[in-house]
């Protein structure tokens, strides 16, 4: 994997203007951005403001169900949106090679989401893209920030030394994006005319099981199939 470049960004007073410039630069490079805030209100307001400024942005929050989260992430990967704003992006299990910028707002506000471990894990969200950078927006350098930066630099040096020793040229990880556009064939429509509510219930159970097993693509395919079956005359 790549080793993201770490930067300390503008103080909190000027962080939004600087953030917008960085998002624009990232989008011009063909990459996407993740922005993490401390509160739900700030995430909502920031996403709304970025939308007003003509950014292609969505707000990822805890009330969105698992399958819709996957759809949001697909929209990010496909380029339909350039930015996701969220609070705890660690819980998403994100695997997004297209992310070239991770911006951590209020990085100096010590707490669960800004402790050393969380900061290191958040930095890792940019590790799959060779051009990636992580920006800490803060008024001061906290102990957690300092330790996270030191650990990231340590890993970066190890990676660079390994690459040099083995003649490896770092590359961004390529991951195929599967586009789901499910439709019933005419033959299937004839068969499904006889489907019962019990059959749909079983499919819904399969969909939930797939989601719990983190097989999101199968879960989405089942969900789309169920939607169509419910409107088949």
8 Å CB contact between 138 and 11:
yes
| Token pair of 103 as six digits | 């911006």
Fold adopted by 4-166: Rossmann fold (3.40.50)
Instruction: Output the pLDDT for position 53.
Output: 94
Cβ pair 108, 139 in contact under 8 A: yes
Residue 87 is encoded by which pair of tokens?
């609070």
∠ Cα 77 80 82 (to 5°): 70
- Total-model pTM: 0.71
What was the pLDDT predicted at 125? Answer: 76
Residue 8, pLDDT score: 58
Length of the chain: 233
CA-CA distances (angstroms) from residue 177 to 46, 73, 122? 28, 10, 22
Helix (H, G, I), strand (E, B) or coil at 178: coil
Residue 49: predicted pLDDT:
95
On the question of pLDDT at 217 being above 60, the answer is: yes
Token pair of 213, please?
Answer: 């097993």
What pLDDT, on a 0 to 100 scale, did the predictor assign at position 177? Answer: 43
d(CA 15, CA 12): 5
CB 99 within 8 A of CB 126: yes
The domain locations on the chain are: 4-166, 197-230
């Amino acid at each position: 994997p790549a080793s993201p470049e770490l930067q300390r960004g503008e103080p909190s007073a000027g962080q939004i203007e600087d953030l917008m410039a960085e998002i624009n630069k990232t989008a011009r490079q063909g990459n996407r951005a993740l922005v993490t805030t401390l509160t739900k209100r700030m995430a909502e307001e920031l996403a709304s403001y970025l939308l007003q400024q003509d950014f292609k942005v969505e707000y990822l929050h805890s009330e969105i169900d698992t399958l819709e989260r996957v759809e949001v992430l697909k929209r990010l990967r496909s380029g339909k949106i350039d930015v996701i704003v969220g609070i705890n992006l660690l819980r998403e299990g994100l695997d997004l090679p297209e992310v070239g910028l991770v911006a951590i707002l209020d990085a100096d506000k010590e707490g669960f989401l800004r402790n050393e471990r969380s900061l290191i894990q958040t930095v890792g969200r940019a590790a799959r893209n060779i051009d990636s950078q992580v920006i800490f927006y803060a008024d001061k350098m906290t102990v957690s920030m300092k330790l996270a930066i030191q650990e990231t630099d340590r890993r970066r040096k190890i990676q660079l030394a390994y690459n040099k020793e083995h003649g490896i040229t770092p590359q961004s990880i390529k991951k195929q994006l599967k586009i789901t556009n499910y439709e019933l064939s005419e033959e299937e429509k004839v068969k499904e005319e006889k489907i019962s509510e019990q059959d749909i219930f079983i499919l819904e159970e399969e969909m939930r099981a797939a989601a719990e097993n983190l097989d999101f693509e199968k879960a989405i395919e089942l969900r789309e199939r169920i939607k169509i079956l419910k409107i088949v005359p």
